[in-house]
Each structure stands twice: as C-alpha cells, then as structure tokens.
Structure 1
Amino acid sequence: MAKNDLAELSAFATVAEERSFTRAAAKLGLSQSALSHAIGSLEKRMGVQLLARTTRSVSATAAGAALLRELAPALERIGSAVAETMQQRDRPAGRIRLILPRTAIEMVLLPKLASFARTYPEIVLEVTSSNDPVDIIAGGFDAGVQLGEFIQRDMIAVPVTGEMRLAVVGSPAYFESNPIPRTPQDLRDHSCIGFRFSNGLYRWEFEKGRKALTVSPDGPASFDDPDLVIRTVLDGVGIGTAMESTLERLLARGKLIQVLKDWCPSFPGYFLYYPSRRNQPAALAALIGAFRVSG
C-alpha cells in the first residue's frame, strides 16, 4: 500500500456514500479541488475508474461499488480501532505488559493486586518474571520494576517501596558446626549460596563507616531463584542473602540467624520505571498511582 492510499481510499468511500463531491469535501474538511485530485490520483494508480461523474451527480462505477463493499467495513474497523486506542488516554483500560523480579512480585505486586483489580476491572496486567535488568523498550514491555541501580538513566522512575536492606543469613543447624562470621572477610571460610543473574553471580556488597567490601560467594550451589537460595540455606547447606523484609517471619521464628547486620546498610528499594511521560495511557497512570509510595 502506498503512503497516501488509506487517505485516498477513505476519501473515495466518503464521496461514494455522499454521492456528492461538495458534501464529501465539507465532511472531510477538504477543498473540492483537493478531493477531486485525491480521487483522480487513486484512480490513476489503480488503473480503473471508480466514480462516474456528471455536472449534477456522482455515483460509483461497477468497479467502485465492488471496492466499496469490501472497503466500507474495513474502514469502519480501522476507525473503531483508532477510537479505542485514543480512549486509552482517558479511560483506565487495556493491557499493561509489566516485567519485574520474583522478589518484587511478592513485595510490590501481590499485596496490591486484588485492590488494583477491583478498582480498575478493565485493566489487564501481563506480568513477566525476570531477575535480570531488562531494556523494557527492546523487550516490548510498557513498564518494569527493579532496584534503582539497575535502571537506565533515561527512564522515568517512581518509588514503589521504602528503603531496603540485604540480610545475610544461615540456619541454626549450619552455625552449630560453623562459627558465626564477624566481618565480611570471614565469609571466605564459609559455604556461601550464590544468587545468579544470567550474566554471572551477584557479588555481596558490604559497607561499614568508610569501609566498603565486595565478596564473591563461593559455595556448593548458586541459583537464579531467590526462594531456592533461602530453601538451601534453611537446609543447612550454607550462608545466603535475601531482602531482609522477605525473611521477617523466618527470623522471628528462629529458622534463620542473621549475621553481619552492621555491615549491611539500607539502600533505595524498588522503583517502577517506564520510558516517557508524554501521551501516557490512563491505564499506566493508574498503575503508577496505585503502586507509588511517598517519601
């Protein structure tokens, strides 16, 4: 289809339905000469006459009538699709493709999903889980949730959690036969269960006062699922890490022992990020408003 075909086909359909260049030009907001030129260009390109013209009337030729029978419902569908798309500016409806880590699903999405679904029944969230930092534009997503350090600088980011802290933990059974580490350097003598991104292990970062240390976990296993890391730690295989807030019950029940707490400062938590504020769909604006946290 040539660049101007759709506009010219729409113009032809309007003239054929109105049976008048004058009325069609007024309806389309064009001059009669511009409309006549558009129809002439379409007929020349198609190599067939579509409209029979006299000084008093206009009607579709046999070829034009056949084209109109197929064209009219197609143009109606296009018009409906355009109108529905434009409604997304004002009505919170449609699909939002969202990508976020497993931990963020549990911390950010699931606690608010039921309320969000009741408030916005016409919005459908298509959720993909990935621990890796993702280019949401290249991946075809509308928005993502990730830790601030992994978000590209050209993204708009709004906080969806408060500050967070990493917890280093082991089971009571593990510490019955292994000493409790007092400094990050002591971890060299321990089995450390790693968390793995697709491009390598996550390195444990520690900070105390002016001291900053990074430790590469060395142990019998590593996982790309944070839940499996903690299950392995609970089984006494070694020491692992997770977000402190996700371990509150296990810590309170004595299932896990937290170590090196004074070496694990808090940091900005998860952010909802998206490409631009311009022409933002109402559904995305609703999601941002529902999940944003103040302060």
Structure 2
Amino acid sequence: MPSSLSTQALTEFCAVAANLSFARAAEALQLHPSVLSRRIKALEASLGTPLFHRHTRSVTLTEAGAALLPHAQDLLSRLADAEAMVARFSAEPTGVLRLALPTSFGQIAIGPLLADFRRAHPGIELELSVSDDYIDLVEDRFDAAIRIGVFASGAGLKARRLAEIPRYLCAAPEYLARAPEVNVPSDLAKHDLLHFSPLAAGPVWKLSESSREVEIPVRPKLAADNAVMLRQAALDGAGIALLAGFLVDEDLRSERLVEVLPAFRPQPAHVWIVFPDRPILARKTRAFIDFLVERWKAGPPGANVD
C-alpha cells in the first residue's frame, strides 16, 4: 500500500504547523486556502487521526501532529541535503585546478589535450607545475598530479591507475652498425648506455623475458633527468637508451630508432592520477579525471590501456 506521507504532503503539513494558519500557509505555498485545507483533511483521513485542532482564527497541533512534526522536518531536511549533493554532480565545475605533471609526459601526452579540456569546462582555470621533482599535493595545495611508476598509497592520497606504458631499449641504426652485437642482456655491458636518472635509486635496468626478470647494472655514458634529451641523444647515435613508448613510438615505426633485445622488454610503467583523500572529490578534479579517462579509452600516446 503506497504511503500517504509524500514529499508534497509533508511540506504542506509542515507549512501549516509553522504558520498555525491555513491562510498564511496557503499564501506561502501559493495555494488557495480551500485546496490546502482539503489536502490536509485527506492526509488526516489516510493516517486515521487528526493532525490539527481547528479554531476560528487559528489551528494548533494535536498530539499526533506534534509527534509527526519533527520527523517530517527531518525527512524534508535530509531530502534537501540529498538533492544538493546530487546537484553538485550536474552543476558546471568552476575554480582554479592546480595540477602537477611530469615533464616529458606532461608536454607530450597531456599538453595537447588542455585546449579541449578548457573548451569543455570554461569555468575551470588551470595552474600547472611541469617538473620531475616530487610535489607534496597536500602541503603544496595541489588538486591532482600525474605520476608514472609505482604509487605508494597512504599519506592522505588516493589514486586511479589510468594506463600502462611500454618501455623499450632502443638505439639509432648508425650506432648499432658500428657497435658490438647485442644478443643477450649481458652484452649491454659492452655498450654506451643512456640512463634516465629518476627511474630508480640505483643504476639498474630491469628486463623481463616471459616470467623471468633480469637485472642489468648500468654504468651510463650519459645520465639525465630529462627523457626528451635522452631520446635526442639516442637519435644522434650516442648509445642505447631505455625510453617510454610515448616518446619513441614514432621513431620506432619510422626506423629512426631500432628496438634492442625485443625478447627482453623493460618492465612497463603505470600512469596514475593522484589526488588528496577527501570525503568529497572536488567537481573540477572529477571533471579532469573523467576527461582523461574518456580521451584515453585507447590509452595515452604510446600506452596500453588497463
């Protein structure tokens, strides 16, 4: 049996209880007094008890009406809170969105998307920190960061993994033509190696063959914290580099670079979006996450989707 306590009925009951007058309550609700009176009588009939004592110039609550009133007010208040919460998802996000991006990935994979994001969300202003330095999102008041590698949860942060980026050992054909052959990982010790220094605390390259992992100690001829510079050094024939797919996919397709030891691929890197762990995620941050997920359904440049 459907309940007679609809939102409309509770709203009208509370209005009469607040005004202690059908006329004043009807005016507040923009109803004719006779319509409101008829509806309250119908509510009382459905409940099987009167809610108001009716006097010549005013009304007062009955015992049943007084018992119902706080529950009705609480229900209407919670309903209003629920509607406000849902409205946050439908309203256009606004405000300044502060993002921390790694240098190379930020420039190549995210930079080309920013104009489209701004067109989709004109109320959001962007502030970007493009650096490979670690940024404390909470202390430095950033809304989100893109990070590549292993995400350590905790420290007041949450994360969503967006994609998996393959990495390659690669070198220019002219370098390989003059250098010793590379048939097994141990042959790398005979070569000029180009190392991206933030990849690990120690100079070790981890390669995988099926389920077997091989660790190769690296004595780099060139180490740098900028992957774009290492890519250029590899293109110039300076040696063998370990680089992410988003940097070298086109070079490998065009054979400007050649993959070395394809049977021993470096472990892939994961792309994460990291944000402070708060009860409600800001709409502007949610908008950016949803935008990346939608645009990267097939993965960012050089990536494999989870």
Q: Which TM class, normalised by the smaller chain length?
A: 0.5 to 0.7
- 2:159 is equivalent to residue 157 of structure 1: yes
- The match for 1:179 is 180
Equivalent AA in structure 2 for residue 159 of structure 1: R
Q: Would you say the 8 A contact 1:156–1:276 is kept in 2? A: yes
From the superposition, tell whether residues 103 and 202 of structure 1 become closer, same or farther in structure 2 (CA, over 3 Å). Answer: farther
Q: For the residues of structure 2 that align with 1:198 and 1:258, how far apart are their CA atoms?
A: 19
- The match for 1:192 is 193
- The match for 1:229 is 230
Equivalent AA in structure 2 for residue 221 of structure 1: L
Aligned-residue offset at 1:151: 4.1
Q: For the residues of structure 2 that align with 1:200 and 1:281, how far apart are their CA atoms?
A: 34
- In the TM superposition, what are the counterparts of 1:49-128 in structure 2 within 5 Å? 90-128=91-129
3-state SS in 1 of match to 2:150: helix
From the superposition, tell whether residues 245 and 283 of structure 1 become closer, same or farther in structure 2 (CA, over 3 Å). Answer: same
Aligned-residue offset at 1:209: 2.8
Q: Normalising by the residue count of structure 2, what TM-score does the alignment of the two structures yield? A: 0.61
3-state SS in 2 of match to 1:99: strand
1:68-106 deviation digits (Å, cap 9, x = unpaired) = xxxxxxxxxxxxxxxxxxx99954111111112123214
1:141-165 deviation digits (Å, cap 9, x = unpaired) = 211111250443453222333x221
Question: What RMSD over aligned residues (CA atoms) do the two structures have, in Å?
Answer: 2.7
- 2:269 is equivalent to residue 262 of structure 1: no
Equivalent AA in structure 1 for residue 93 of structure 2: P
Q: Would you say the 8 A contact 1:144–1:272 is kept in 2? A: yes
Task: Percent identity, please.
Answer: 24
From the superposition, tell whether residues 265 and 225 of structure 1 become closer, same or farther in structure 2 (CA, over 3 Å). Answer: closer
Q: Would you say the 8 A contact 2:169–2:266 is kept in 1? A: no
1:231-270 deviation digits (Å, cap 9, x = unpaired) = 1111111111111232122112221111122211664631
Which stretch shifts more, 203-212 or 182-191? 203-212
- The match for 2:250 is 249
Equivalent AA in structure 2 for residue 156 of structure 1: K
Q: Would you say the 8 A contact 2:192–2:240 is kept in 1? A: yes
Equivalent AA in structure 2 for residue 116 of structure 1: F
From the superposition, tell whether residues 175 and 231 of structure 1 become closer, same or farther in structure 2 (CA, over 3 Å). Answer: same
Which stretch shifts more, 111-120 or 195-204? 195-204
Q: Would you say the 8 A contact 2:206–2:216 is kept in 1? A: yes
Aligned-residue offset at 1:135: 3.0
From the superposition, tell whether residues 261 and 139 of structure 1 become closer, same or farther in structure 2 (CA, over 3 Å). Answer: farther
- The match for 2:212 is 211
Q: For the residues of structure 1 that align with 2:120 and 2:92, how far apart are their CA atoms?
A: 13
Q: For the residues of structure 1 that align with 2:142 and 2:115, how far apart are their CA atoms?
A: 22
Structure 1 stretches of 5 or more lacking a match? 1-86
From the superposition, tell whether residues 133 and 190 of structure 1 become closer, same or farther in structure 2 (CA, over 3 Å). Answer: same
1:122-175 deviation digits (Å, cap 9, x = unpaired) = 2122111222444322333211111250443453222333x2211111111111
Q: Would you say the 8 A contact 1:88–1:283 is kept in 2? A: no
1:22-75 deviation digits (Å, cap 9, x = unpaired) = xxxxxxxxxxxxxxxxxxxxxxxxxxxxxxxxxxxxxxxxxxxxxxxxxxxxxx
Q: For the residues of structure 1 that align with 2:108 and 2:229, how far apart are their CA atoms?
A: 17
Equivalent AA in structure 2 for residue 249 of structure 1: E
Q: Would you say the 8 A contact 2:159–2:275 is kept in 1? A: yes
From the superposition, tell whether residues 250 and 198 of structure 1 become closer, same or farther in structure 2 (CA, over 3 Å). Answer: closer
- The match for 1:138 is 139
From the superposition, tell whether residues 148 and 240 of structure 1 become closer, same or farther in structure 2 (CA, over 3 Å). Answer: closer
User: Larger C-alpha radius of gyration, 1 or 2?
Assistant: 2
3-state SS in 1 of match to 2:114: helix
Q: For the residues of structure 2 that align with 1:158 and 1:107, how far apart are their CA atoms?
A: 20
How many aligned positions are there? 208
- The match for 2:130 is 129
Aligned-residue offset at 1:272: 0.8
Structure 2 stretches of 5 or more lacking a match? 1-87, 298-305
